[in-house]
Amino acid sequence: MAVPRIALAGPLLALLLAVSALASPEGRLLGGEDAAANEYPWSASLRHNKAHTCMACIISPSQLLTAAHCVSDLGTTPVAASSLGVRVGSINQYAGGQIVNVQSVLIHPSYGNFLHDLAIITLTEPLVFTERIAAATLPAKVEEEGEGESGEEEVSTELPNGTPVYVAGWGEISDGSTPYKLQKANYATLSAPYCELAAGYGYASCLCLTSAERQGICRGDAGAAVIDDDKVLQGITSFQFSDCGSAYPDVASRIYYYLDWIEANAK
């Protein structure tokens, strides 16, 4: 359950700073703003041995998504489901709502070195949805047509560069402590070519996120939902480069890329 510390250096940092300046979102998880009680009803605290370790996102009454590294014992072998639980229906990570046990964990078969960093958690009992417990909406599938004899171009499913997105988590804040109340943050997406130039991470399976320096995800925020203005789930947070709040982009798994796998294993 380690948090990666990937050190980067080089002239590409200046490019990232310039791109970030084009869409500098306000707010942050690292020293962020309190979320309202029913503002992020899909957010859950993933608990290992009864302690918060990561975030998870509700996608149905019985299943949640989280980052694979949060539940990996070794590679694609998960930790014992009996050691896990999720708190739902509360913005207080220590109280309120309910804690539900985990029946099983499925890690994406291609997970490794923080690529394909996605896992499905199945609960021992289904959730009862309320205004404080609800599922995030998965992206709608787009019929993609490759360029062929018709001359039609392939439809892009990537979010445009600078798209506003939102994250909520219980990760570390600016003074190094862990907040009891759910924190929310505004981000902007960084398209694959820009992310490749800025951090060498322009993978189709990833969604890169920009924020102002000294802002961003931190330890305990992995597995959180990345939601757009239409409240559609666009990503699940994975890791940050270097220290929390560095000038480099934060990285999430791009949900659209994994729709087939999620739907094949959804209940």
**pLDDT exceeds cutoff 90 at 143:** no
Query: Do 62 and 116 share a domain, yes or no?
Result: yes
**pLDDT recorded at residue 30:** 57
What pLDDT score does 2 carry?
35
Find the CATH number of the domain harbouring 80.
Answer: 2.40.10.10
Cα separation values, 32 from 26, 70, 88, 94, 267, Å = 9, 22, 21, 18, 34
Total count of domains within the chain: 2
Name the nearest CA neighbour of 234 among 267, 196, 191: 191
For 73, the domain range is 43-135+259-264
Q: What is the pTM of this model?
A: 0.86
Query: Do 54 and 131 sit in the same domain of this protein?
Result: yes
Q: Is residue 207 part of a domain?
A: yes
Q: Tell whether 199 and 228 lie within a shared domain.
A: yes
Q: CA–CA distance from 243 to each of 126, 191, 225 (Å)?
A: 37, 22, 21
Task: Tell me the per-residue pLDDT of 20-44, one tens digit each, with 9 for 90 and over.
Answer: 333 333 334 554 689 999 999 999 9
Tokens standing for residue 7:
């050190």
Whether residues 171 and 119 share a domain: the answer is: no
Residue 48 included in any domain? yes
pLDDT digits (tens, 9 = 90+) for 174-211: 777 889 999 998 999 999 999 999 888 999 999 999 98
What is the per-residue pLDDT for 110?
98
The reported pLDDT for the residue numbered 67 is 98
Could you identify the residue written with the tokens 């490794």?
Answer: 112
Query: Which residues lie closer than 8 Å to 261 by C-beta, 6 or more apart?
Result: 108, 118
Q: Is residue 128 included in any domain, yes or no?
A: yes
Shared-domain flag, residues 229 and 193: yes
